[in-house]
Amino acid sequence: MSDATATEPTGGHTKDLSRARDMILCEDVSKWYGDFQALDKVSATIKEQEVVVVLGPSGGGKSTWIRCINRLEIHQEGRIIVDDVELTNDLRNIEQVRSEVGMVFQQFNLFPHLKVIDNVSLAPIWVRKKPRAEAEEQAMALLERVGIPEQAHKYPGQLSGGQQQRVAIARALAMEPKIMLFDEVTSALDPEMVKEVLDIMKALALSGMTMMVVTHEMGFAKEVADRIMFMEEGQIVEVGTPTHFFENPTEDRTKLFLSQIL
């Protein structure tokens, strides 16, 4: 298993992450579903402003791991520290981490009973206690940023899949998170809508957001990732820059995976 620290920047990325502080720190994280071990001593460090793409076959533990970062799943062994706060059974820590970590889901999970603008401004109003007018102004700015301000007063059910996923990104950004988690966000989209979502994610990466992305979009991984982690059977098999990962991977399992998808 490769050392999980920041590596040399790749061609398109001239970020110097060697001095950046650790945003996500995982130490020997393990999790079981009954007898099935979903995570097997996963250790990794993700630096501030770093974009990490997690690749791997289905059922390899990618989603379980990313969902442990904001404790939608509870890890059973090891430690997870997010922005210097350790995830334990302490409700206060969990709530603090969740308010600093944004997450976007495969199935969008927008609130169908609220208008788009209310979906985006709900958490700022109730968690950050912002004045409604200010929260709505911010929501409109975010909808502008994801390119759908004209849909603000519609309900999620009236939007296309790509539009819904963009609202979901705006909703996560409304909490002004330090970290964004993307869990297979383009897998439920029609092919022509994938690009509009990926473009927003690219722009977000360029703006310096710390991102952890589980995806099957190899093009996105090559272009945007600072590091790629390859996961299989609950373990991180290989870590490296996109150049290293796609051009001369060291592990046999990585080679096999790449030969199957490329």
Least distance in Å: CB of 6 to another protein?
Answer: 26
- In the DSSP assignment, the letter for residue 152 is T
Indicate which single residue of 36, 157, 261, 262 sits in contact with another protein (rule: CB under 8 A). Answer: 157
Indicate which single residue of 111, 137, 190, 219 sits in contact with another protein (rule: CB under 8 A). Answer: 111
Residue 150 near another protein by CB under 8 A: no
Closest CA to 191 of 219, 228, 172: 219
Indicate which single residue of 87, 123, 142, 185 sits in contact with another protein (rule: CB under 8 A). Answer: 123
The long-range contacts involving 255-262, CB below 8 angstroms and separated by at least 24 positions, are 257/55, 257/56, 257/57, 257/230, 257/232, 261/216, 261/218, 262/218
Per-residue contact string for residues 164-193; x = within reach of another protein by CB under 8 A: ----x--xx-xx------------------
Question: For residue 177, how far is the Cα from the chain centroid?
Answer: 11
28 vs 126, which CB is nearer to another protein?
A: 126
Q: Which two tokens stand for residue 64?
A: 């379980």
Give, as ranges, the residues between 79 and 108 that touch another protein (CB under 8 A). 95, 98-99, 101-103, 105, 107
Distances (CA, A) of 74 to 39, 101, 183, 234: 11, 16, 17, 15
Give, as ranges, the residues between 54 and 83 that touch another protein (CB under 8 A). 70, 72
105 vs 245, which CB is nearer to another protein?
A: 105
